Structure 1
Amino acid sequence: MKRFELLVLILSFLFVTGNCQETYCTEVKHKQIKTLQVKVQGETFSAPVIELNSGKVIEINFDALSHGYGRYAYTITHCNADWTPSVLSSLEYMSGFQNLSIDDFANSLNTTTFYTNYRLFLPNNDIKFKVSGNYVVKVYNEDRPKDIVFTACFSIVEPKVNVAATVSSNTDIDVNKEHQQIGFEIVHPNYEITAPQSDLKVQIYQNNRYDNMVKNIQPLTIAKDRIIYQFNRDLI
């Protein structure tokens, strides 16, 4: 009986471990990489979000503390809403090849610390995206493919609904002081949403901060062609 219980525990552990997936975020993993930025090209303070086939481009910009071209390459992974890898193959979500090198770089001039600035733009002449969703770019030293120096996350959207939002300083915490309350409607006259409570994954975050993100938000009212989120204390 003891051996049977031990076997059950081992199998349970293997099952849980085998189903664990990495959750990605924009993160520097090597001390040589500095000032990592992920944004829409030409927009200094933008969230890293573009529309599919819109002509807009995601810019990934970073510095490496060296004075000379270090060879960096990258792979692209399509992710689920929770930033875990999706089941799609690369052939399904992009056209082009993986493990391409980053060739846009410039050495610093007249600086106390030597560094090389690198830029990667997506999509580009080599990479085109086929579907919307969350994406992570894993950048690594070309000579050491397992040595990931940073990950960069961005999203490609494909608008199917309209979102109308309001912000009010009148909350049940204080009035016109320190807090604001978000309210919004999802309007979808031409897009069927049969079960909003489970089909929609609503996430709200402040100034691109993910540490205080609000999620698992439930609607107040569900109408024929609109879903209303209002008077929710979680949205303060």
Structure 2
Amino acid sequence: MSLKRLALFMLLLFSIPVMAQIAEEIAEPDFIKTITFRSNTNEGELPILKLNERLILEFDALNANEEDFYYVIEHFNYDWTPSRLMKPEFLDGFDNQRIQNYENSFNTYQIYSHYTLQIPNRQTRLKVTGNYMISIYDDYGELMFSRKFMIYQDLAQVGVAVKRSRDVRYIASKQSVDISVSSLNLRFINPDQTVKTVILQNNNLNTAIFNLKPQYTLGNSLVYKYDTESSFWGGNEYLFFENKDVRSANVGVQFIDLKEIYHSYLFTDVIRADNPYTYNPDINGNFLITALDREDVRIEADYTVVHFSLQHPEITDGDIYIYGNYNNYALNDSNKMEWNSSSGLYEKQMVLK
């Protein structure tokens, strides 16, 4: 069984708008690539950070226009419905400010501009905990993309235990998460309504489990020991490749070809559904930008056209996607593989850093 990384968060509920619309993230256009959203780590991930910790958003624009981009921040309730807080209540200063820090690529075949935004900064500081969305707009007011993040304070102690599923049908394929929540400073009054839980697997909000109710209380501790409601599919190890040297084949890369930019042709993958599980450490769907013989990978790492292929019979009742945090776990045409009847393979080309 593949034990994927899990995280749990506790939020205290103060108000709930009725029939409010749940916020959805907007995917980026084709010319924006390598969105890295993080806190104090080198890897991009759903940022979950303490109040006043640094938030970093980076991305590349491949249109070579040195465009101006602006950021807008919104606050949300635990269920991603708009909160009732006015902007001055959750933000010191101003948003809708231009991202001033950008640099152009250096010594690369693909020309791009690299943008970096850090919060807090001189214009913007967040004042309260909660769920947030940051949206990036161009100079014409058109929304380019948006990303969610969370800010918390240590008000409670959360214990988490990951176990095999208690359902014998899924004992080798699912993971069950037990939770306990306690605090020396808070009294949990009516916790079914005031305490909200979110369990994340691999920092992926698309598969999150929301709003489990405590099953019982021990003193001032809330206990959650569900059989099926807190279960995740364990899944398999993620496939991976390295193209940190775009001029030669690397791990998972069969050969390369230089055209207008470098093309990296990966080895054809095969389906693993009927094979025994094999432990192979990965980074749980994440990505990391590296480049050999480069001092600053932010502007010196090059882009390549990566050629994916999968040996799989053609299917008529579903689609196959290249899935991971590189595009925020989105499923859309930009990462959907296409059936090639000539080669008998599913194939896809993607421009990646």
Corresponding residue for 2:178?
183
Corresponding residue for 2:64?
67
How far apart in 1 are the matches of 2:154 and 2:172?
A: 35
How many residues were matched structurally?
214
Shift of 1:76: 1.0
How far apart in 1 are the matches of 2:20 and 2:125?
A: 30
Determine which of 220, 224, 235 is the counterpart of 1:225.
220
> Residues 58 and 162 of structure 1: is their aligned pair in 2 closer, same or farther, counting only changes over 3 Å?
same
Equivalent residues of 1:21, 1:84 under 8 A apart: yes
Corresponding residue for 1:34?
33
Bigger share in helix: 1
Corresponding residue for 1:80?
77
How far apart in 2 are the matches of 1:221 and 1:189?
A: 18
1:74-223 matches, within 5 Å, as 74-142=71-139, 144-145=140-141, 147-169=142-164, 171-173=166-168, 177-223=172-218
Shift of 1:111: 2.5
Shift of 1:141: 0.7
Q: Which runs of 5+ in 1 are unaligned?
A: 1-18
Corresponding residue for 1:3?
none
**Taking structure 1 as the reference length, what is the TM-score of the superposition?**
0.82
Equivalent residues of 2:35, 2:59 under 8 A apart: yes
**Taking structure 2 as the reference length, what is the TM-score of the superposition?**
0.56
Structure 1 counterpart SS, 2:206: coil
Equivalent residues of 1:49, 1:58 under 8 A apart: no
> Residues 62 and 184 of structure 1: is their aligned pair in 2 closer, same or farther, counting only changes over 3 Å?
same
Amino acid at match of 2:23: T
Equivalent residues of 2:76, 2:132 under 8 A apart: yes
Structure 2 counterpart SS, 1:117: strand
Amino acid at match of 2:122: N
Q: Which runs of 5+ in 2 are unaligned?
A: 1-18, 232-353
Q: How large is the Cα RMSD of the aligned pairs?
A: 2.1
Shift of 1:215: 1.7
Structure 1 counterpart SS, 2:143: strand
Equivalent residues of 2:61, 2:112 under 8 A apart: yes
Structure 2 counterpart SS, 1:233: coil
